[in-house]
């Protein structure tokens, strides 16, 4: 408006030279400085020169220094003086359905020597507020949260890299930051949302119930006596023992998952804050879909323990408190322990489905119905315990050799199953296989 007000008297006086100078000024300075940023783009400002210089190792300028600027141009028609700024257009970060995005910060404080990922705070949000990230003490390197499917975010392309299955958003400041394949050496399928669901068995007919066995790659070391991390260790079991709780109550507590404390490993910062440790995890994942950081977490699918009617499962525990034999002085064949201790549990699991970790607990299924074992060509249809048994070769006094079919019936009471397993190891050993 001011320009038009000044031009009108000049035009009235037929002094066209000033008009030509003004038009030339607009054509040379103003028009090239107008930048159209698309609806799914951001404009990265790069300042050409400045008397101020960056004083730390940050690649991004917050106080007008030369180089990449912290502020971004949002979609629309924007002005950035071309003599002072160069503008690069970058797409918004978009995570496809069924995939996740791993965030890598190229700005912030350095990680601790033993750390593999950066501490996360709630004020960091989804990493769109660069100033809040820096003020809050954000760190360089892999960030613990991942971006969920469907995310569409204007993330600073120099401060952060976002790695997905098919591409990397942002400007890597080093060729080696993401590895040779651009994905930290991870496989493309590791950037998919993890789904745990029933699966078809080897015969493609029976449906197998499954759980996810979790291994974590960051955290404090495990105690010397443990092979898996359980939040709070087994202090809750100790408390139940002091209160004279039954074995069944203890078992329910041991298999009761603590995954709600960290949203099923999806909130990795909460996992560490609650005392999570590196390595194999005690609590598995149940059916569902999970957004897990593949740089920090690996999940292996394993079958769920199913105890059918007419069976019990004797548990051999490799984790828990120290072994304390509860079998008594009259039992001379090994030891039995209360649930929560390492060893063979004195209380078996009865009919049901149990989401136990097979790396921590080995289950020996013991039939409690009357079993018929055939030392013959025929085998039982109810079990496979006698599949290796053959006819017994006998020799008469006269020297004739002949085969004898033998049939034996055995019965293992459910309360005696742990003692039987402690004595013979497995049911196949009991059958003489």
The model's pLDDT over 41-58, given as tens digits with 9 standing for 90+, comes to 999 999 998 888 887 788
Residue 288: what are its φ and ψ, rounded to 5°? 155, 180
- Other C-beta atoms closer than 10 Å to the C-beta of 7 total 15
pLDDT single digits (tens) 145-157: 999 999 999 999 9
Q: How confident is the model at residue 347 (pLDDT cuts 50, 70, 90)?
A: very high
Pairing, β 60-61 against β 279-280: unpaired
- Report the candidate in 321, 316, 324 with the shortest Cα–Cα distance to residue 356: 316
Rounded to whole angstroms, how far apart are CA atoms 287 and 289? 7
CA distance 349 to 327: 18
CA separation for the pair 163, 102 (Å, rounded): 5
Q: Tens digits of per-residue pLDDT, 197-232?
A: 998 766 666 788 999 999 999 999 998 889 999 999
Percent of the chain at pLDDT > 70 equals: 84
Q: In degrees rounded to 5, what are phi and psi of residue 203? A: -80, 0
Using the predicted structure, report yes or no on whether residue 142 has a pLDDT greater than 80.
yes
What is the helix (H) or strand (E) element at residue 421, kind and residue range? Answer: helix 417-424
User: How far apart are the C-alpha atoms of 103 and 394, rounded to whole Å?
Assistant: 73
Helix, strand and coil percent figures for the chain, each rounded to 5: 20, 30, 50
What rounded mean pLDDT belongs to the chain?
87
Q: Would you say how long the chain is, in residues?
A: 433
Q: Which of 292, 218, 237 is nearest to 259 (CA)?
A: 292
Question: Whole-angstrom Cα distance, residue 231 to residue 229?
Answer: 7
Residue with the larger pLDDT of the pair 28 and 5: 28
Average pLDDT over residues 253-261: 94
Structure-model confidence comparison of residues 349 and 399, the more confident one? 349
What per-residue confidence (pLDDT) applies to 334?
83
Angstrom CA distances, 339 to 106, 286, 316, stand at 48, 22, 10
User: pLDDT digit string (tens) for 273-325?
Assistant: 999 999 999 999 999 999 999 999 999 999 999 999 889 999 999 999 999 99
- Neighbouring CB atoms inside 10 A of 337's CB total 23
Helix or strand run (H / E) with residue 211:
strand 210-216
Q: DSSP letters along 69-120, please?
A: EEEEEPSEEEE--TTTEEEEEEEPEEPPTTB-EEEEESSSBPPPTT-SSB--
Beta-strand pair 152-153/41-47 = unpaired
């Amino acid at each position: 408006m001011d320009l038009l007000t000044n031009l009108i008297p000049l035009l009235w006086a037929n002094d066209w030279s000033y008009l030509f100078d003004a038009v030339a000024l607009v054509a040379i300075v103003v028009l090239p400085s107008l930048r159209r940023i698309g609806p799914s783009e951001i404009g990265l400002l790069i300042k050409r020169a400045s008397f101020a210089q960056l004083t730390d190792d940050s690649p991004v300028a917050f106080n007008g220094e030369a180089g990449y600027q912290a502020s971004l141009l949002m979609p629309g028609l924007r002005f950035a003086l071309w003599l002072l700024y160069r503008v690069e257009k970058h797409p918004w970060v978009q995570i496809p359905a069924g995939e996740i995005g791993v965030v890598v910060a190229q700005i912030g404080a350095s990680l601790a020597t033993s750390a593999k990922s950066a501490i996360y705070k709630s004020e960091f949000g989804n990493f769109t507020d660069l100033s809040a990230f820096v003020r809050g003490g954000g760190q360089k390197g892999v960030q613990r949260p991942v971006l969920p499917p469907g995310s569409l975010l204007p993330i600073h392309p120099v401060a952060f890299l976002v790695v997905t299955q098919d591409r990397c958003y942002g400007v890597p400041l080093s060729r080696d930051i993401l590895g040779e394949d651009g994905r930290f050496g991870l496989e493309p399928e590791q950037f998919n949302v993890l789904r745990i669901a029933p699966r078809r068995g080897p015969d493609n007919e029976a449906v197998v119930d499954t759980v996810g066995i979790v291994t974590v790659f960051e955290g404090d070391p495990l105690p010397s006596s443990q092979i898996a991390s359980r939040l709070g260790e087994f202090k809750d079991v100790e408390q139940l023992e002091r209160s004279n709780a039954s074995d069944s109550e203890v078992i329910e507590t041991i298999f009761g998952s603590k995954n709600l404390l960290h949203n099923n490993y999806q909130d990795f910062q909460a996992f560490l804050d609650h005392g999570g440790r590196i390595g194999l995890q005690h609590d598995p994942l149940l059916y569902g879909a999970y957004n897990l950081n593949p740089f920090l977490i690996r999940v292996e699918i394993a079958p769920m323990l199913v105890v059918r009617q007419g069976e019990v499962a004797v548990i051999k525990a490799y984790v828990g408190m120290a072994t304390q034999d509860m079998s008594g002085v009259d039992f001379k064949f090994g030891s039995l322990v209360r649930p929560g201790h390492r060893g063979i549990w004195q209380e078996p699991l009865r009919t049901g489905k149990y989401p136990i970790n097979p790396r921590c607990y080995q289950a020996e299924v013991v039939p409690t119905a009357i079993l018929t074992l055939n030392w013959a060509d025929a085998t039982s249809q109810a079990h496979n315990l006698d599949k290796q048994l053959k006819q017994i070769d006998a020799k008469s006094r006269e020297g004739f050799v002949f085969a004898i079919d033998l049939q034996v019936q055995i019965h293992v009471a459910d309360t005696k199953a742990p003692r039987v397993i402690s004595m013979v190891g497995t049911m196949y050993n009991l059958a003489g296989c």
